[in-house]
Structure 1
Amino acid sequence: MKKLRDGPMDGDMNGNQRTHNFRFLLALAILTPLVVSMTVMGLATFHFGRLSVGELTGTIVQQTVARVGAQLKQLQDVAQDQNRLNLKVMADRPPRAGDFKRVAAALAPSFEVNDELDGVYYGVEATGEFFALLRGTNQVVNLLERTLDPDGQWSRRISRWSGTDWQFLEQLPADRYDPRTRPFYQAAKTARATIWTSTYEFWPHRPGDRRTTGVTCATPVYDGAGQLQGVWGVDLGTIELCDYLAAIDPEVPGYPFIVGEEGDGTRRVIAHPNRNMVIDARTGMLFRDANGIRDETVKAFLRQIPGRFAAHAVHTASHTVPLRLSEFAPDSVAARTRTFEFADHGTNYLGGCFVTGRDDRLLIGMVLDKKEVMRHVNRNAAWFAATFAAVLVASLIGVFGFARRASRPLVELQREAHAVGRLELAPSDPPLSHIREIRELGNAMALMKTNLRSFRKYVPADLVGDLVRSGQEAMLGGERINATIYFSDIAGFTPVAEQLRPEEIVEHLGAYLQAMSDGIAQHSGTVDKYIGDAVMAFWNAPRPNPAHAADACRAALANQRQLDRLNEQWRAAGKPVFRTRIGLHTGPVVVGNIGSEHRMNYTVIGDTVNLASRLENLNKLYGTRILISETTRAEAGSAISARPVDRANIKGKTTVVTVYELLCEAEAETPEQAELRRQTEEAFAFYQRGDYARAAAAYREILQRWPADGVAAALLRRCEELAAKAPPPLSQDG
């Protein structure tokens, strides 16, 4: 074969026409427009970047205002979600004085996790009684109750949340507080809907409490006749708003703030990243007027906005509800944010204001030092020049390297290689080429795809994909994870197999294993191995799955339903039917490549695997189809419906394990299944307490309604035996 020279050729066999090396022409064709376009683009970008710094900073201001607004909307949603939770906790019955501790106990956990909230409370319309969840020092949740004693005297008590109950702290002297006269109550009562108040002074409920200000989200409660029963309130304190704003990183040399406008036109800065700028240290209150704050830059900013805020609002749509999330979409903010320049003490600033809220009385502002922004622009220009030079050098090297190797068959082979990397292994013809090496490479690629298709049938598909994409050789090793193990076995398979010829056994069992494997794969599981007619699978590897327990339960239920359908077809065709038992357990395992350097399996090992197998075997004792462990039940949570079966001493375990029967997915639970679960839970509770006589009666009642229930039958026999031997259980008082 004739070797091509690197330089242009002087001629060819067909004449004196001058020819050139393909690599040289391809490199020239790519590099010429690349260098020209990059040079023009770089110069234009640098030039127009400096000219458009005003537009750039304006965009930054708009984006920051949008972020602040979205964060403020999120904070508002926390308060409104809390009020929605408050309404659910009432259970269609507005709380009275006797309900205060119960309702407060239900709300305390949510109040603990919502650090932004300052207080949650409820006032009763008929009596003026009142209770409040208040945040104390060290994030302790306190309960204040204001109730009427039988003799008509007001009583005020403070209790502390211990995590499970309210502990009395102190009795407070009566005061003049009446929730029905407070701004939040009056506003909600007038609006007959959830409202947000303007900034006002919170009532100091305990002697020595600091005076604070803030806003309240208030929701009225009505009975079926439309009569007002009371009002829920959720407080957002000024200090919390300031701290919340301080946590927002604008990513530019500037800062945001929020200004409210009172009905008389008075402006009050209600949130600032530095709370000391807007809160009077002597009183703990907001300065009543924006002119009293300590931030001279914000004062200069507000002087650029004379008159009412509404005069500076840019309306693109009707907005009667304050702080709608749609208002902070980038396009909406760009259309409604006003930007301007101003100076303060010799420093030039860029300001941006976005007027929103009910009646356009809320302004989100942003100030930005222009000099600092220009410094970033100049630095970015220098970085661009350096990047341009680096990209140009890399392009020269890359283009010449590419041109040297480029050819259409190689491009096709590249596509094939990428397809293999994505595990797209469909058969295809190798690319045509007159070059022997390229043709052999194409044949090798086709052979590799054939081998990978075979290899994929022996190991989990996800694992094959990860290995191919990594380009690394599989090595021995493992890691400890929490996984859910699935173990199933066909009941009475040996007698069934003896009735069939070997080829019939393989075909019949193959259809069963295919259906079970499909169900596992459809629910993100990995089939580990087939042990005769048994199937072992696991979840949460090789790819993490936070819902592995729930997915394993769904797969088990789906497989039982699919087996029922197969059995109907087999019965109609005169073929043997299968009944499979499944065990699920969640716990720690070691997962990885286990074996030797020459042969290994991707599998899981550990006591969790053994326990899943033993749970499958326990189905024989109780006549059940799917048994799960207590850890699987806890991990799956509200996704499933399951009933307790027994506290079992499983072989190989030193501790007693609570075993559950998996009934169905939670959303598919029927009234009959719900009743069976409820009655079984009640009977099992008696059994656990040692009240075997009542447990036996409860299981007997289950059998009267469900005579074929194996769980109730097994536990009834045991309870009757234990009741005859055991002394009566102790009463609750001993």
Structure 2
Amino acid sequence: GLLTLPMISLILDPLGLPVESILVVFMAIDSLIDPMRTLLIVYVNIATTALVAGRESEEERNAKTKMRIAAATAGEIFSPEEAAQISDANAQNPALPDFSADIQSVKVHYETSQASIASMAAPASASKTLRLNPATEKKERLTTSLPGGIKIKIRDALILINTVLLILTASVIIRINSHGTQDSVYSVSTKLVTEILKSVDTKIQAYYTPADQAIHNISFHYWNEDRFHFKSNNEAALDYFMELLQTHKEFAMVYFGDTQGNLIMGRRMPDGTLTRRYITRTEDSVITKYVHENKSYNATFPTTEESLETGYDPRTRGWYKKAVTQKKAVWTNVYIFATDNMPGFSCAAPVYNDDGGLEGVACIDIGIRDLSLYLGGISTTENSKLFIYDQDNQIIAKPLKAEDPLDILLSVYPGADGSNNYSMKKVDDQADPVIAEAFKNSTGRVNTNGIYSFSLDGNNYFCKVDSMPLDQELSINVGMIVPDNDIMGIVYKNNRMVLIISLIVIIIAIIISILVSSLISKPLKILSTEMNDIKELDIDDGEVDINSGIKEIDNMVDSFQGMKQGLASFKKYVPSDLVTQLVKNSQSAEIGGKKQTLTLLFSDIENFTGISEKTPPEELVNRLYDYFSIFAHTITGNRGTIDKYIGDSIMAFWGAPIEMDAKTHATLACRAALTCQMQGQNLSNQWVREGKPKFHTRFGIHTGEVVVGNMGSDERINYTVLGDNVNLASRLEGINKYYGTEIIISANTHDLVKDDFEFRMLDKITVKGKTQPLFIYELLAEKDKLNQSLIKIYSAYERGLKFYFDGDWDNCIKYMTAVRRHSNDKAAQVILERAENFKLNPPAVWDGVYAFDKK
């Protein structure tokens, strides 16, 4: 409580309240209630051990200590029936205190008393044991024992303890306010500045993060050649750049420069409108073209044609060279943008093709004025200062408002053409003496745990500087300066009032303590007598009749009565075995399941055994971690439940425990499989570029009725699925290798989602152990997202398959041969070989079903 005093001051001082005196009031009130309640509970425990007749020898105390240790390790102490009785007693009064510690104490005391009785029976100890007569014993039960045999009544003890606590508390508070102001200021300032700077660091990190994420997305779209077709369609790329500019107001420009020196750019103009910029390099010139949303810029930024020597070449720019050199996403130092002569920094990333060849570099620019405006929107203390500087000690951001002039942040000077040019200010620039002095004193203090203080013109300041890495080679420093008066200014005005108010409160609290202690002491005498009986395990079935009018004591009596009832039953049982059984029977989840229609998915890595034999174990584990993480996020992101990981395989299902209709969970399963397929290919391509073998994943999906629920033993259960349909989904995954496919689904799943995805019918089969034939399909893509050439090939395959089902071997061979001519389709090769074989050896009965005799 004392350490939080300055923080309480920050809240109450603006209201004109003397915070230290209020704290004394709170502690005085607390000393009348909470400490008394604590004393009551402590007294219950003390009374069971302290009121033992006679003085114990050292040998007796050692013997009792050993018995207590043995009792403490004997296990739990309640049978199921006793636990039910105590649970019922607690349910009748939910506010009852927790007496579990007291119950354990009673058990120890019972065994202690038994040891005492045994010692009394032994001649060697009889002379050392004094047994009080009942009258003396009853009298002793009304008092507690202090060291040296001094006896004091509970009423006097409460008054004495409360008085001492209040005087000590007031003395400590007064001393803190008199002599500890500087320590309090430093402690609170350290925490406040550190927490505010952490918040600022988090917000600045959030400012940078979208650029890093966006640049990776751009690189992905260029490399992946997905539906955007960035490589072949500059307008599609620019549309995406414009969307990024509209979404992220901190982005000034988004562009891509290729290896031929061409560039396309989306740019935010001064009035907030967007402009498209095209730079095209021909054999003898560089053509720059603009397309403005605001047509008034046409005159300012017309189409130009320059020589190859003077025209803009992205390949010569620092952002391009750094990204190509480091072969990863990078951040640049602050530099002057060629487009608008404004300073800023860039996030750039190289783009490679599937063969590892460089396609170009994508880049996003962020102006430092925008970062300063962002800092201007972060709330701190009234007169604090935030600042950011780079590794060259250049100020790159200070809090700005939209109406503030740029010369607060930058040095402005006229250019040769009459326009303004800008240069970076140094952090030690005396134009801002407070920041300059803070930087002067920051040597060796960047990223330290504490803050440092300095004085300037008679004012004290606290400062902390954190280093924030943008990449491995580039970092920025974020500093915060807080004036002393922002934190503790009002606290200093209240010190003179603390002493008088504290003394008054102490006197009032002592008077109230005397009155309350008198109300507490009488019922505690009765409880003390009852507790001594319990210490001897002399427990009757009668209720304790006490009505003190004090809620805490009445609650204590109710809890005591419940404890008596529990202990009465406790005596009749051997606790260890029965209590262990009670814990085992306390179930949070019940064994059982129900039939339900789910969609099941199995995945497996092709030739994983061969890969694992050639890969070091640690690397294999790390690769599986990356692989499983991507797939797990995708499956759970599509509301699936991962049942288990089986080696390199994943078993998942949809429709439980989150219930949904069959079409929905079948759709989600198919979408998850396609996403996993794409992400797995991306991850494998990355590994190939690193010289590692790729993971080729196969999926099997089936929708059917299974048993789902908690299954296992009384020690361990799993939420899982069982049934023939689970095995069928697993078999579908396995037969991918026969057809050279990646995702095979059953007819049940196909019928549910056929309007949402692209498929081709693969075959009509029976799996091992089954006689019921089923149609199987290959899942290809989401609806209308399949390449037209592939659609033609797969349509020819399905026409050939129809002839195959009809037994028309010649036409089947014709179509499958055409498919093989245009693609390396293993499924077509399989059907072609079957048709050629059946043409030579016609089956006696043909139903179009191929029976798999292997798993």
Q: TM-score normalised to the size of structure 2? A: 0.43
Q: TM-score normalised to the size of structure 1? A: 0.49
* Larger Rg belongs to: 2
